[in-house]
Amino acid sequence: MQDIFNELLIFRNIQQNPVIDQFRKFTTAREIPHKVEHLFQMQYEIVRISRKKAISWRETILDILLMDENLFTLKCERGEAIDENLLALVAGDIHIIRNLYNYDWVTILEELSVNRSTVFTLDTEEFENIDLHSLLANNNIGERFIVKELSNYIRENGTGLFSKESVFKWDDVNQCLSEIKEFDRVRFEDLIGYERQTKALKENTLSFIDRGKGNNVLLYGQRGTGKSSSVKALVNEYAHKGLRVIELKKGQLDAIAPIIEITRHRDFKFILFIDDLSFEEFETDYKKFKAIVEGSFEKKPNNVLIYVTSNRHHLIRETFKEREEDVNISETTQEKLSLFDRFGLAILYEQPKDDLYNEMVIKLARRNGIKLPEKELLQLANEWKVSKASKSGRAAQQLVDSLSFTL
């Protein structure tokens, strides 16, 4: 089987998958104890990397196939034509992968006197992508037909990590993107009192998704006013339309260039999201960031925008000396202000007035099943506002969370 793996031409990278690696060690081991050791290690890897409800050998092999980013799958994702030579090479690889998919585990496990594991025997009726499973399981169907159906599936759903997850972060150690599986599932309807801001943000983002035309966005204003939640709501609202969000920290600005190269030719729309960004007076990294946002010779691809939240209007702390009349603004101040100008859309999130803050508390309380009388709720809201020195949407949510715990 090891020599067969070496014959892979297009899907060659699947050899690096830990499940495939353990399978190769299993098939080449001569002593039964060693075979059994690799067998159980392979099962562990299947469970560890599984993205599906049905944890099984066949589901894992299909997932490995769909996750592999190669010349064929990326062309399919972009909707490009596939020439006959490439189709023939892919069909040859599918023949090898199909043999792997249909490996006779029942016989092997009996020979090794190992109890039959559901990992290797689970009924395909429990699988996702049942049509693709049916094709791979049926040896009477030719590889060319499977390639055609696989191509159609990838054109519709994409390939690789971006096809499976919608939120990512930059891994400084491995210099790559990794998925964020658990994140806030906030929706726009949860953001009370910011209809104008939401409208502007959604219009820009939808234009970006549908037409590839949108502005870099700066969401600025006081803490707790819903800036970050608005960006999170975007991915929850539009992930099904191909929107992906990549979260970056201030110290990862140098990662923007490699991320753009990773995403440049993908058939998804990417928002690079930098939360709570600001620069101190003595910092000069803003110059580098300014060139990245807009101003360098290299053209930013049409499928990438940058969304930033900040408590500062111009992102950079201004000294009292710099706050002079417009005619006397220093070159340093002009340079700092030019960073703000790089964002085609700037959205202000203001602290709500008392009436709106009270409305937030009441609506959030009712949504969370809190049935305290309105008068009592408003009294608690006022006390909470004073104790927190804040009357933001975040403060309102924290009050409601506190009441949910205690009532």
Q: What is the mean pLDDT of residues 349-365?
A: 84
User: What is the four-CA torsion angle of 383, 395, 198, 253, rounded to 10 degrees?
Assistant: 150
Site of tokens 């029942």: 106
What's the distance, CA 95 to chain centroid? 32
- Please name which of 370, 193, 169, 360 lies closest in space to residue 270, comparing C-alpha atoms: 169
Per-residue pLDDT at 26 exceeds 90 = yes
pLDDT above 70 as % of the chain: 88
For residue 309, the SS3 value is strand
Which tokens in the block code for residue 324? 């002079």
Per-residue pLDDT at 1 exceeds 60 = no
Which tokens in the block code for residue 196? 């104008």
Per-residue pLDDT at 38 exceeds 90 = yes
Confidence of residue 320 (pLDDT cuts 50, 70, 90): very low
Per-residue pLDDT at 244 exceeds 60 = yes
Identify the burial level of 356 via C-beta atoms within 10 angstroms of its C-beta, where 0-12 means exposed, 13-18 middle and 19 or more buried.
Answer: middle
| Higher pLDDT pick, 400 / 136 | 136
| Higher pLDDT pick, 280 / 150 | 150
Q: Answer yes or no: are the C-beta atoms of 306 and 272 closer than 8 Å.
A: yes
Q: Answer yes or no: are the C-beta atoms of 192 and 359 closer than 8 Å.
A: yes
Rounded CA-CA distance 53/38 in Å is 24
Looking at residue 394, its amino acid is R
Which tokens in the block code for residue 76? 């399919």
Rounded CA-CA distance 103/375 in Å is 68
Per-residue pLDDT at 176 exceeds 80 = yes
| Higher pLDDT pick, 191 / 9 | 9
Residue 329: the pLDDT is: 54
Confidence of residue 391 (pLDDT cuts 50, 70, 90): confident
Which residues, 6+ apart, have CB-to-CB distance to 340 below 8 Å? 218, 313, 314, 315, 346
Least confident interval from 65-79, 196-210, 226-240, 367-381: 367-381
| Higher pLDDT pick, 167 / 339 | 167
Q: What is the mean pLDDT of residues 370-396?
A: 82
Residue 51: the pLDDT is: 65
Confidence of residue 297 (pLDDT cuts 50, 70, 90): low
Per-residue pLDDT at 350 exceeds 90 = no
Q: Answer yes or no: are the C-beta atoms of 391 and 406 closer than 8 Å.
A: no
Residue 127: the pLDDT is: 57
Q: What is the DSSP letter of 308?
A: E
Tell me the chain's radius of gyration from C-alpha atoms.
27
What average pLDDT does the structure give for the chain?
A: 86
Residue 154: the pLDDT is: 96
The DSSP H or E segment spanning 168 is strand 167-171
Q: Which residues face 221 on adjacent strands?
A: 349
Long-range contacts of 26-31 (CB under 8 A, 24+ apart): 27/1, 27/2, 28/1, 28/2
Residue 273: the pLDDT is: 96
Alpha carbon distances (Å) from 348 to 197, 207, 249, 317, 392: 7, 20, 21, 17, 14
Least confident interval from 1-10, 24-33, 80-89, 314-323: 314-323
Residue 3: the pLDDT is: 66
Per-residue pLDDT at 401 exceeds 90 = no
Q: How many CB atoms lie within 10 A of CB 275?
A: 17
Q: What is the mean pLDDT of residues 12-17?
A: 94
Residue 74: the pLDDT is: 97
Least confident interval from 44-58, 102-116, 152-166: 44-58
Confidence of residue 270 (pLDDT cuts 50, 70, 90): very high
Q: What is the mean pLDDT of residues 281-297?
A: 70
Between the two ends of the chain, the Cα-to-Cα distance in Å is: 62
The DSSP annotation for 216-275 comes to -EEEEESTTSSHHHHHHHHHHHHGGGTEEEEEE-GGGGGGHHHHHHHHTTSSSEEEEEE-
Q: What is the DSSP letter of 347?
A: E
Per-residue pLDDT at 399 exceeds 70 = yes
Q: What is the mean pLDDT of residues 175-195?
A: 88
Residue 318: the pLDDT is: 61
The answer to pTM > 0.85 is: no
Least confident interval from 114-118, 248-252, 331-335: 331-335
